Copies of this chain bind each other. A is one copy, B any other.
């Protein structure tokens, strides 16, 4: 998880990237590739050459890459491209597995959008294939690469500051307009059958796992609060139970205006951040820690906050220190130094395991054991 300039890149040889699919989120990652000095975007592929050309033209107009980017008219061409080391795959979840496996078969390292697949079984297949082929696999959770994550998790783990973690609570939502539920793929039962649980809950689950250093819950209880007419979750809540009595609850929704907060509560204090997915626009990524106390003296009873504010100097997006830039920098460094990091497939799989248990619990309306990693 360390963020450092690659020595290979300093020597002038970058990791060479292709983007598979001209999705909206790919525009943001175009920026990440632009700013990661050890990465070079070679080509963008979509199902039509025109679409790739138009995507590249628009992105070059917004954030120019320091070189030409090749437009390709099919995913196959990208996978056959001899100068591409790694592919970023923001295709819809319903069709992603096939292309991830084909990319691995073509010898490409893979950075995949999330939720990686529709099932644990599919993801296990992907992880095994990447391991066998000695290729890096990672899911595109940008916040994992924010410079604030490590010091913040260290505080959560600090036995004097937070103490034993008892409760985690997180909320990730945005309010989609009516048209979203008719037109957006995130409400499509074929393309994104996991709905808000895959699109948003993936982050809730990942943040929860991070706060517990990867400890897995043993039981999930969840509810689908709203669905589309064809059963895609659009509002979802869950509670997870861990060994030792820790519990975590999360809520994700397409119906509630943008929120993205997480609280980590222990026996001695708590840590919270109110922008865990995408740092608020600005140049600092912040969080806070608190050790509140009731102090009673005679008839005086004071509630003392004892808050401390923390920040790292990090641009929210579109710059050298941005979390999406760190994501590409870290990935490229692993590729260039040939030191693949099994932490990333592990965290992706753990996330998918918890997600699947939540979905099953909601469908059965009863507690469901979480399959072991």
* A interface residues with partner B (beta carbon < 8 Å): 24, 27-28, 30-31, 34, 58-59, 61-63, 163, 166-167, 169, 171, 173-175, 221, 223, 225-226, 235, 237, 239, 245, 247, 249, 251, 253, 255-261, 263, 265-270, 275, 277-281, 290-305, 316-318
Chain B nearest CB from A16 CB (Å) reads: 20
Q: List 7 A-B contacts (CB under 8 A).
A: A62-B300, A63-B300, A175-B268, A221-B223, A258-B303, A281-B305, A303-B317
B166 and A253 form a contact (CB under 8 A): yes
A167 and B269 form a contact (CB under 8 A): no
Return chain B residues, CB-CB under 8 Å to A174: 294
A265 and B259 form a contact (CB under 8 A): yes
B31 and A299 form a contact (CB under 8 A): yes
Q: Secondary structure of the A side of the interface?
A: strand
* Alpha-carbon separation in the docked complex, A239 to B316 (Å): 34
Return chain B residues, CB-CB under 8 Å to A28: 299, 301
Return chain B residues, CB-CB under 8 Å to A221: 223
B279 and A268 form a contact (CB under 8 A): no
A258 and B316 form a contact (CB under 8 A): no
A265 and B173 form a contact (CB under 8 A): yes
A291 and B257 form a contact (CB under 8 A): yes
* Alpha-carbon separation in the docked complex, A43 to B283 (Å): 59
Chain B nearest CB from A361 CB (Å) reads: 13
Which of B27, B235, B247 contacts A225 (CB under 8 A)?
A: B247
* Alpha-carbon separation in the docked complex, A15 to B144 (Å): 60
Identical chains bound together, number: 2
Chain B nearest CB from A148 CB (Å) reads: 14
Question: Which residue of chain B lies nearest to A279 when distances are taken between CB atoms in the complex?
Answer: B303
Known: A237-B247, A257-B268, A257-B270. 18 other contacts (CB 8 A): A27-B299, A31-B299, A62-B297, A62-B299, A163-B257, A166-B235, A166-B255, A167-B251, A171-B265, A174-B294, A258-B293, A259-B270, A260-B303, A277-B303, A278-B303, A280-B305, A281-B295, A281-B302
Return chain B residues, CB-CB under 8 Å to A24: 296
* Alpha-carbon separation in the docked complex, A42 to B269 (Å): 41
Q: Count chain B CB atoms within 10 A of each CB in A253, A300, A317 and give the residue with the most.
A: A300
A258 and B299 form a contact (CB under 8 A): no
Chain B nearest CB from A179 CB (Å) reads: 15
Return chain B residues, CB-CB under 8 Å to A296: 24, 27
Which of B61, B163, B175, B281 contacts A267 (CB under 8 A)?
A: B175
B275 and A169 form a contact (CB under 8 A): no
A302 and B275 form a contact (CB under 8 A): no
* Alpha-carbon separation in the docked complex, A341 to B297 (Å): 34
Which of B235, B249, B261, B298 contacts A237 (CB under 8 A)?
A: B249
* Alpha-carbon separation in the docked complex, A299 to B259 (Å): 22
